[in-house]
């Protein structure tokens, strides 16, 4: 009986051991069903067990890191595509398949033996006015004659094939005074060329020409004015601001700010007040200056809410107000305020006023907003006061630590994921917790935008920083790359971003600290148009400490010693920025 038991135990133990060493394949990215752009190759990463087992994907042998993590760069083809994985664990071959969708590439060439015509632009309904251009762009059979017509406007207007033989045809029409049409389609016709036959097509979008003006009002706190229909950010007008819209393409209104300046805003950001009215028109009144516990404040009397844009120099700030005339006969200075040096005013255009503030010190940050009354408030922060003496040199300083992203463990993820399945939001928080402890040892007051797995929307993070009266903002992240990029085309490591001028010195000091102390490739100091960096209230940076997608760097992010090294580096960067000498021996 004892012998039978021993044999049974030995058999059971061998099964357990076999199960523990059995091969396992995990693809952490791309996730199942992911749609990626039209690329020839893309990266795949994940992990295998055991880490020493021979591993292949689509027949290619894959190099595996010591912990079982891997990343590779493999060819793909359009449509549904599968990464077929094979792992031989010494006993059996294990299989795993991950399917994705590779989107079709855009048409680059057209056949010369068949007729084809496709109108690319206009693709959205348009309302235009005199002095605008109508641009017509079509893809068609190469080496044909192409013309476009718009009923009531022009007939058989010649288009050019550029370059010749490409099948890309372009035409344009300049809208003259007196031109007027309503909801007319563009007709494009091709004929002649190397093959016989003609073909014509009407655009799906229609064009209206009139010289009407719409008065619109910003209806959300998240409004954005862009410098083009698909352009970059230009300004962020607050709710209640009134503007003149003189054209529309698709859902985008064109805002006529002045005789020289225009911008674009999505119709979802505004409400239509009335049509065919005069533009907004206001004027400035008394400008009253006062000292605050953080710097200075200017209260500019103004009778209506109009768009404005702020430009910053080292020791000055200029507010440009549109639809505005200067009528400020008094500037009232505060004798207790030693921060503001002077205020200058000038009329920069027929309806553009500029107010310039000069300071005795560098600007630490600023905020511009409308009060509940008839005033535009400009708050300017001077460098904060805090201890600067050891052992608590940061006593009195409010530091905002922003662990990037929020918990989302199902695809699509919020942030990056690593080969071993570590989520970026986790690694960001682990680092932030070490940072918090290290800064608190130096006396700083720490405010975290996130302390756990709670969902903190991106737009809420700058609000938390402002409401907490932060003096410095640090957003911590780990990096990834876009689908289709080659993960081995360049050394990858840490990078650092800033947006506003008053954040530049902070960013440079932090970057120098990383270069000196973190043994990873330096990807440089960068301007970054990130939401958390666009806030103006304080110096703000965003740090990409390493890459989650590489097994070695993911392992570092999980290491307590590396997090402590990062934290010490970030602390040193702040101390250098604040010109605090090293701790005395």
CA 527 to CA 534: how far, in whole Å?
Answer: 11
CA 132 to CA 79: how far, in whole Å?
Answer: 41
Instruction: Give the pLDDT of the chain (585 residues) as one tens digit per residue.
Output: 444 433 433 433 333 333 334 799 999 999 999 999 999 999 999 999 999 999 999 999 999 999 999 999 999 999 999 999 999 988 999 999 999 999 998 755 667 778 999 999 999 999 999 999 999 999 999 999 999 999 999 999 999 999 999 999 999 999 999 999 999 999 999 998 777 789 999 999 999 999 889 999 999 988 999 999 999 999 999 999 999 999 999 999 999 999 899 999 999 999 999 876 777 889 999 999 999 999 999 999 999 999 999 999 999 999 999 999 999 999 999 999 999 999 999 999 999 999 999 999 999 999 999 998 889 999 999 999 999 999 999 999 999 999 999 999 999 999 999 999 999 999 999 999 999 999 999 999 999 999 999 999 999 999 999 999 999 999 999 999 999 999 999 999 999 999 999 999 999 999 999 999 999 999 999 999 999 999 999 999 999 999 999 999 999 999 999 999 999 999 999 999 999 998 887
The CATH number assigned to the domain holding 128 equals: 2.60.40.10
> Is the C-alpha dihedral spanning 382, 311, 318, 460 positive or negative?
negative
Residue 561: strand, helix, or coil: helix
Claim to verify: residue 373 and residue 435 sit in the same structural domain: no
Claim to verify: residue 230 and residue 188 sit in the same structural domain: no
Pairing mode, strands 225-226 and 331-332: unpaired
- Over residues 335-348, the pLDDT tens digits come to 999 999 999 999 99
Of 489, 553, 496, 482, give the one whose Cα is nearest residue 524: 496
| pLDDT attached to residue 582 | 86
Residue 149 CB neighbours (<10 A): 19
Residues 6+ apart with CB under 8 A from 108: none
Claim to verify: residue 436 and residue 496 sit in the same structural domain: yes
For 190-196, the CB contacts below 8 A with 24+ separation are 190/115, 190/117, 190/140, 190/141, 190/144, 190/145, 190/146, 191/144, 191/145, 192/144, 192/145, 193/141, 193/142, 193/143, 193/144, 193/145, 194/112, 194/142, 194/143, 195/112, 195/113, 195/114, 195/115, 195/141
Would residue 582 count as lying in a domain? no
Domain boundary among 102, 133, 166: 102
Q: How many residues does the chain have?
A: 585
Would residue 298 count as lying in a domain? yes
The number of angstroms, rounded, from the C-alpha of 516 to the middle of its chain's C-alpha atoms is 28
CA distances from 411 to 97, 528, 551 (A): 17, 26, 20
The CATH number assigned to the domain holding 362 equals: 2.60.40.3500
User: Which phi and psi angles does 92 have, rounded to 5°?
Assistant: -155, 165
Helix, strand, coil percentages (3-state) for the chain, rounded to 5, are 15, 40, 40
Claim to verify: residue 143 and residue 160 sit in the same structural domain: yes
- Could you give the angle at the alpha carbon of 135 between the alpha carbons of 134 and 141, nearest 5°? 140
Residue 347: strand, helix, or coil: strand
The CATH number assigned to the domain holding 460 equals: 3.40.630.40
CA 502 to CA 313: how far, in whole Å?
Answer: 9
Domain boundary among 354, 381, 408: 381
Q: Calculate the CA dihedral of residues 433, 434, 438, 443 and round it to 10 degrees.
A: 0
Would residue 561 count as lying in a domain? yes
Claim to verify: residue 97 and residue 220 sit in the same structural domain: no
Cis peptide leading into residue 50 (ω within 30°): yes
| pLDDT attached to residue 108 | 55
Residue 556 parent element (H or E): helix 551-557
CA 276 to CA 548: how far, in whole Å?
Answer: 55
CA 463 to CA 499: how far, in whole Å?
Answer: 17
Domain boundary among 321, 347, 381: 381
CA 355 to CA 316: how far, in whole Å?
Answer: 10
CA 23 to CA 5: how far, in whole Å?
Answer: 29
Claim to verify: residue 361 and residue 503 sit in the same structural domain: no
Cα Rg, the chain, nearest whole Å: 31
Claim to verify: residue 553 and residue 571 sit in the same structural domain: yes
- Could you give the angle at the alpha carbon of 540 between the alpha carbons of 535 and 543, nearest 5°? 125
Claim to verify: residue 417 and residue 499 sit in the same structural domain: yes
| pLDDT attached to residue 198 | 93
- Domain of residue 434 covers 398-577
| pLDDT attached to residue 174 | 97
Pairing mode, strands 252-256 and 262-266: antiparallel
Would residue 7 count as lying in a domain? no
Of 360, 253, 343, 344, give the one whose Cα is nearest residue 307: 253
Would residue 1 count as lying in a domain? no
| pLDDT attached to residue 276 | 67
CA 550 to CA 417: how far, in whole Å?
Answer: 10
Per the CB < 8 A criterion, the answer to whether 42 and 78 are in contact is no
Claim to verify: residue 409 and residue 558 sit in the same structural domain: yes
Of 146, 149, 153, give the one whose Cα is nearest residue 128: 153
Would residue 390 count as lying in a domain? no
H-helix segments, 442-498: 460-467
Q: Angle of helix 504-517 relative to helix 560-577, nearest 10 degrees?
A: 140
CA 135 to CA 121: how far, in whole Å?
Answer: 7
Q: What is the pTM of this model?
A: 0.90
Claim to verify: residue 229 and residue 356 sit in the same structural domain: no
Pairing mode, strands 252-256 and 242-249: antiparallel
Would residue 478 count as lying in a domain? yes
CA 100 to CA 34: how far, in whole Å?
Answer: 5
Of 177, 66, 71, 150, give the one whose Cα is nearest residue 485: 71
Claim to verify: residue 323 and residue 454 sit in the same structural domain: no
Structure tokens at 460: 């809420």
The number of angstroms, rounded, from the C-alpha of 95 to the middle of its chain's C-alpha atoms is 39
Claim to verify: residue 174 and residue 227 sit in the same structural domain: no
Structure tokens at 245: 């819209």
Structure tokens at 474: 């640090």
Structure tokens at 41: 């190759």
Per the CB < 8 A criterion, the answer to whether 470 and 401 are in contact is no
Would residue 415 count as lying in a domain? yes
The CATH number assigned to the domain holding 238 equals: 2.30.30.40
Count of structural domains, the chain: 5
């Amino acid at each position: 009986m004892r012998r039978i038991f021993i044999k049974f135990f030995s058999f059971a133990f061998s099964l357990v051991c076999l199960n523990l060493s059995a091969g396992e394949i995990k693809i952490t990215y791309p996730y199942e069903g992911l749609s990626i752009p039209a690329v020839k190759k893309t990266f795949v990463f994940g992990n295998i067990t055991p880490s020493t087992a021979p591993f292949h994907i689509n027949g290619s042998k894959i190099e595996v890191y010591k912990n079982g993590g891997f990343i590779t760069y493999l060819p793909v083809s359009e449509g549904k595509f599968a990464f077929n994985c094979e792992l031989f664990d010494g006993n059996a071959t294990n299989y795993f398949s991950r399917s994705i969708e590779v989107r079709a590439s855009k048409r680059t060439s057209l056949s010369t033996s068949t007729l084809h015509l496709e109108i690319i632009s206009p693709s959205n309904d348009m309302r235009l006015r005199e002095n605008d251009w109508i641009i017509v762009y079509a893809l068609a059979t190469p080496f044909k004659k192409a013309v476009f017509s718009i009923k009531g406007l022009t007939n058989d207007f010649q288009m050019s094939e550029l370059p010749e033989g490409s099948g890309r045809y372009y035409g344009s029409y300049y809208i003259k005074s007196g031109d007027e049409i309503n909801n007319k389609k563009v007709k494009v016709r091709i004929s002649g060329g190397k093959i016989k036959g003609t073909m014509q097509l009407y655009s799906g979008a229609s064009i209206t020409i009139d010289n009407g003006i719409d008065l619109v009002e910003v209806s959300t706190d998240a409004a954005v004015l862009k410098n083009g229909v698909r352009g970059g950010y230009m300004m962020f007008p607050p709710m209640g601001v009134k503007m003149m819209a003189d054209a529309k393409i698709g859902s985008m209104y064109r805002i006529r700010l002045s005789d020289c300046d225009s911008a674009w805003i999505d119709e979802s950001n505004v409400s239509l007040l009335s049509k065919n009215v005069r533009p907004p028109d206001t004027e400035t009144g008394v400008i009253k200056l006062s000292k605050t516990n953080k710097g200075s404040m200017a209260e500019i009397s103004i009778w209506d809410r109009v768009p404005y844009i702020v430009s910053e120099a080292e020791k000055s700030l200029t507010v440009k107000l549109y639809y505005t005339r200067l009528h400020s006969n008094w500037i009232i200075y505060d004798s207790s305020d030693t921060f503001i040096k002077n205020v200058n005013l000038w009329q920069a255009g027929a309806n553009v006023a500029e107010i310039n503030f000069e300071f005795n010190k560098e600007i630490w940050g600023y905020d511009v907003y409308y009060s509940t009354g008839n005033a535009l408030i400009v708050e300017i922060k001077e460098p904060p006061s805090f201890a600067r003496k050891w052992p608590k040199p940061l006593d009195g300083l409010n530091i905002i630590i922003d662990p990037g992203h929020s918990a989302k463990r199902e695809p699509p993820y919020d942030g990056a994921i690593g080969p071993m399945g570590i989520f970026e939001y986790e690694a960001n928080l682990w680092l932030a917790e070490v940072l918090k402890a290290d800064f608190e040892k130096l006396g700083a007051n720490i405010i975290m935008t996130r302390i756990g797995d709670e969902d903190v929307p991106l737009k809420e993070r700058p609000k938390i920083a402002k409401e907490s009266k932060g003096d410095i903002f640090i957003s911590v992240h780990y990096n990834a790359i876009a689908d289709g990029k080659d993960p081995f085309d360049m050394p990858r490591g840490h990078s650092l971003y800033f947006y506003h001028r008053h954040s530049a010195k902070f960013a440079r000091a932090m970057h120098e600290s990383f270069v000196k102390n973190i043994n990873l490739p330096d990807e440089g100091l960068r301007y970054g148009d990130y939401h958390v960096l666009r806030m103006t209230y304080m110096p703000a940076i965003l740090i990409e400490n390493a890459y989650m997608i590489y097994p070695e760097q993911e392992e570092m992010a999980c290491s307590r010693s590396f997090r402590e090294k990062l934290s010490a580096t970030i602390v040193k960067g702040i101390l250098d920025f604040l010109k605090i000498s090293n701790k005395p021996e």
